[in-house]
């Protein structure tokens, strides 16, 4: 097992290697004052899923560096099973973008169609024992969908870094 993981680190890892899905039934504890599930609960579950993906891809600790896009598409209700699907979209030297899709379905009625309720893109940075960024394995792209996700992740990264740079420049002047 250890030898296999080591070999994959040298050669890179496909998105399927670290892919994770989590599922939780939403209770009244997670509801907001309107009776729907609080958006923060959905962000937390998405972040936890993305964190597991980042840890698995990078083979060690990884922290959330940025969450720059979280789209809430439909309300989630008490009694829904909230299920996340996450994988690495793009990997750089020490950072990676993890895409998360969130779906909901009532816990007691599988005849009701699953609804896509949210999507998010997280940037995680792998860190060493001192908390400094550490190098991660490259991402090995295998399908046309993965090529598209990687291309779109690079567009988001360019925008994130340009925005960060512009703000830093404006503060320095
Ligand atoms: C994330 C953290 C380790 C980055 O440290 P840093 O010294 O700023 O790192 P660097 O500037 O060398 O950047 C490291 C990588 O992150 C990327 N990065 C950093 N900030 C980013 C941002 N806002 N958006 C996109 N990428 C970013 C860099 O481009 C670089 O990527 P690459 O190595 O793949 O090219 C540091 O800011 C940190 O510890 N933040 C707190 C994390 C945390 O507590 N999260 C919440 C709980 S998990």
Give pLDDT tens digits for 63-109.
Answer: 999 998 899 999 999 999 999 999 999 999 999 999 999 999 999 99
pLDDT for residue 33 is more than 80: yes
Q: Which residues line ligand 1 (CB under 6 A)?
A: 63-66, 92-95, 123, 125, 127, 131, 133, 157, 160-161, 164
CATH number for the domain that contains residue 87: 3.10.129.10
Q: How many CA atoms lie within 13 A of 139 on its CB side?
A: 29
Q: How many CA atoms lie within 13 A of 140 on its CB side?
A: 11
Closest ligand 1 atom to Cα of 92: 34
C-alpha to C-alpha distance for 88 and 66, rounded to whole angstroms: 14
Closest ligand 1 atom to Cα of 65: 1
> Which residue minimizes the CA distance to atom 5 of ligand 1?
133
pLDDT band at 10 (very low <50, low <70, confident <90, very high): low
Structural domain span for residue 163: 2-172
In degrees to the nearest 10, what's the CA dihedral of 126, 130, 131, 136? -10
Q: How many domains in the chain?
A: 1
């Amino acid at each position: 097992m250890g030898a296999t993981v080591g070999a994959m680190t040298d050669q890179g890892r496909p998105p399927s290697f670290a892919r994770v899905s989590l599922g939780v039934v939403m209770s009244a504890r997670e509801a907001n004052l309107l009776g729907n599930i609080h958006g923060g609960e959905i962000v937390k579950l998405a972040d936890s899923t993305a964190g597991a993906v980042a840890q698995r891809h990078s083979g060690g600790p990884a922290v959330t560096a940025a969450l720059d896009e979280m789209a809430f598409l439909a309300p989630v209700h008490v009694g829904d099973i909230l299920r996340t699907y996450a994988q690495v979209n793009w990997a750089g030297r020490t950072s990676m973008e993890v895409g998360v899709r969130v779906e909901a379905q009532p816990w007691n009625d599988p005849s009701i169609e699953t609804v896509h309720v949210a999507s998010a893109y997280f940037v995680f940075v792998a860190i060493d024992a001192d908390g400094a960024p550490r190098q991660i394995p490259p991402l090995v792209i295998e399908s046309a969908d993965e090529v598209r996700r990687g291309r779109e992740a690079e567009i988001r990264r360019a925008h994130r870094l340009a925005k960060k740079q512009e703000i830093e420049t404006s503060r320095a002047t």
